[in-house]
Amino acid sequence: MDHEYFKSHEMGWGTLGTVRPFSNFHPDRDVVEIQTALEKKDAVTLVRILTNRNNAQRQVIAKTFQEITQKDLSAGVKKALAGDLEILLLELLMPPLEYEAYRLQQAMVGIGTDEETLLEILCTRSRQQLQEISAAYKQLYKTDLEKELKGETSGDFTKLVLALLNKQDVAGWVQRDIESLSVSLSGKKADPGPWIDILTSRDSDHLNKVLMGLELEKGQMVAQALEKNFTGDFRLGLQVLVQCIQSPDVYLAKRLTTTKTPIMQRIMVSHSEEDLLCIRAAYLKLTGTSLYTALQKQFKGDHLQALLAICRSED
């Protein structure tokens, strides 16, 4: 086992993720089992192993598999499986930063852009995480993430997206920020500038005070003010950003209520080792149904078992 590799990952049991390090971890044994499972196209064994190891352990498995078999594990999975299960296991095998870069690339590739996935990642990740994701993006796709975002967006939405990618950490005065946002809504046409500047450069505690103060001053919810004063992608961007400032767990839980498999799957994989327990709790409060039960209503077979293993348990 590569102990230096493990030191580079946070693996404490006190995390709010659902997928934890497997305590009795023997990558050589896992590789032998996986090798046989790939030959037999035994999805049950592949799901059991790959959903019960955390990402750092999966990277060790992939490396050990390459050393023992001289073959690529992801290529083996592609050959043995198909459909949503194949995609899920391939996503589990990606290192976290590469996975976020991949999600951003998938949101921009082809005709049309998935603006909400771009926003989800940009709004829920810290400045440092986004810098690391940008570096991974450049390494994977040989182009700058910022350049790609510019090419896929336009107008004020571009300014918002780039400000989110390059988040600043600027101290501000609550009352002054409330006044700036209030004044921006007072003219015939709302001024997007203060919304971009303030909402992408202050910490969430400060911004929650600002948003509450603005609601008191205007006598309406921020969501209503955004709906009334802005349009298009820029309005969507501010709506997502405000929801993530107020509660990223609730926002992600709302995203999980979609029936679109890729969206659900990618959020679960992306947050499985960080805060999926919090998102599960928000989902239950939001829908009255646990995520574990909801998955059973929508999916089936080995794909369902893999998703349930990531979700981990009933709330």
Q: Residue 200, exposed/middle/buried by CB under 10 A (0-12, 13-18, 19+)?
A: buried
pLDDT block averages, 10 residues each, the chain of length 315: 40 73 96 98 98 98 98 98 98 98 96 94 96 98 97 97 96 96 94 98 97 96 97 98 97 94 97 97 98 97 98 91
* DSSP string over 11-53: --TTSS-S----TT--HHHHHHHHHHHHHHT-HHHHHHHHTSS
User: Residue 12 falls within a domain, yes or no?
Assistant: no
pLDDT given for residue 13 in this prediction:
43
**Of 125, 122, 121, residue with least CA distance to 163:** 122
Parent domain of 238: 174-246
- Does the pTM surpass 0.85? The reply is yes
* Domain end marker among 75, 93, 111: 93
User: Residue 134 falls within a domain, yes or no?
Assistant: yes
**Of 232, 304, 210, 290, residue with least CA distance to 256:** 290
199 CB-side CA count, 13 A: 27
In 10 A of CB 171, how many CB atoms?
A: 8
Q: Are residues 46 and 88 in the same domain?
A: yes
pLDDT given for residue 8 in this prediction:
38
Q: How many Å apart are CA 235 and CA 157, to the nearest integer?
A: 8
Residue 101 three-state SS: helix
pLDDT given for residue 110 in this prediction:
85
Q: How many Å apart are CA 55 and CA 21, to the nearest integer?
A: 8
Residue 273 three-state SS: coil
**Of 250, 242, 249, 193, residue with least CA distance to 214:** 242
User: Residue 32 falls within a domain, yes or no?
Assistant: yes
In 10 A of CB 285, how many CB atoms?
A: 12
User: Residue 11 falls within a domain, yes or no?
Assistant: no
User: Residue 7 falls within a domain, yes or no?
Assistant: no
Locus of tokens 């993530």: 244
What CATH number should be reported for the domain holding residue 196? Answer: 1.10.220.10
User: Residue 9 falls within a domain, yes or no?
Assistant: no
The total domain count for the chain is 4
